[in-house]
Amino acid sequence: MVHSLTIRYEGLALAATIHYPQQAGERGDRKLPLVIINHGFAGTRIGVDRLFVLAARELAQQGHLVLRFDYAGCGESEGNYGDHGLDSMIEQTRTVLDYALGLDIVDPCRVTLLGHSLGAAVALLTAVRDRRVKSLVLWSPVGYPFNDIMRIVGRKTYDEAVTKGAADYLGYSLTPNFFDALLRHQPFQETQKFSGDVLLVHGTGDETIPVDYTFLLEKTFWLRGEGRCEKVIIFQADHTYSRGEHKKELFKATADWLNGYEQRQQEWYHWSI
């Protein structure tokens, strides 16, 4: 079952979609694991080539409650995207968490943020500020928000935003505050603050965000005192996993990792004693 809804954030309506597992009504008192999908820069909850729609369907079939939403100014959500920097995106994600955890069918011990590209950076930054997030799945994660987005939009766009107060990028009006917020956050420096398990996935054919970021993130996550990190590299996959075979590999790796929660908990228990 799929249900469309709106979630209120500072007077704005954020468009969202929930995917319920088919067997949700057959689970009795058992709570459902939750996955919230964070889309990337100037994206939507649909995703390029329906990436997030297909992912949500697959994960729902695997027994997860999946919520995907549009950040303010994106997709069907209200607002101007360029007015909402990373700090706002973090708070929007936390507002969506508020809504999802208000559902009595959600298991609060199994809350995962799944982010793609800039959405992966937002997922990490949210997780270190909100202990309700228990695990992370980061697809093709942005490592240096300002530099990475600058490389995408071009220096001319940034200069225009600074000198004129706003700049047009594909119809989005980006303000100096949007770029300033990118400068304030460094995901690589935040990894030590998150103690949950992490799955990193990246394609070797990604020309937008270097696959090297994922190798470096893995190293920084493994320096933590607790929490595990696993990495999956998909050969020749591009930034949005546009080929069908790459989507299948991405979805399988993600579903297998999410479904391995109980085994990881048992292994951690035996290791710790």
pLDDT tens sequence across 50-98: 999 999 999 999 999 999 999 999 999 999 999 989 999 999 999 999 9
What pLDDT is stored for residue 30 in this prediction?
84
Among left, alpha and beta (phi > 0; psi -120 to 50; other), residue 102 is alpha
Domain residue limits, the chain: 2-272
The answer for residues whose C-beta is within 8 angstroms of residue 67's C-beta and 6 or more apart is: 16, 17, 18, 19, 34, 35, 36, 37, 96, 99, 100
Contact in structure between 38 and 112 (CB atoms under 8 Å): no
Q: How far apart are CA 168 and CA 191, in angstroms?
A: 33
Positions of the chain with pLDDT under 50: 270, 273
Could you tell me which residues are beta bridge partners of residue 2?
19
Q: How far apart are CA 37 and CA 119, in angstroms?
A: 8
Could you tell me which residues are beta bridge partners of residue 199?
137, 230
Pairing state between β 2-9 and 12-19: antiparallel
The three-class DSSP label of residue 69 is strand
Whether this model's pTM surpasses 0.85: yes
What pLDDT is stored for residue 28 in this prediction?
57
Amino acid at 134: K
The class of domain 2-272 in CATH terms is alpha beta
Could you tell me which residues are beta bridge partners of residue 13?
8
Place of tokens 């303000």: 175
Place of tokens 């079952």: 1
Place of tokens 């225009």: 160
Q: How far apart are CA 208 and CA 214, in angstroms?
A: 13
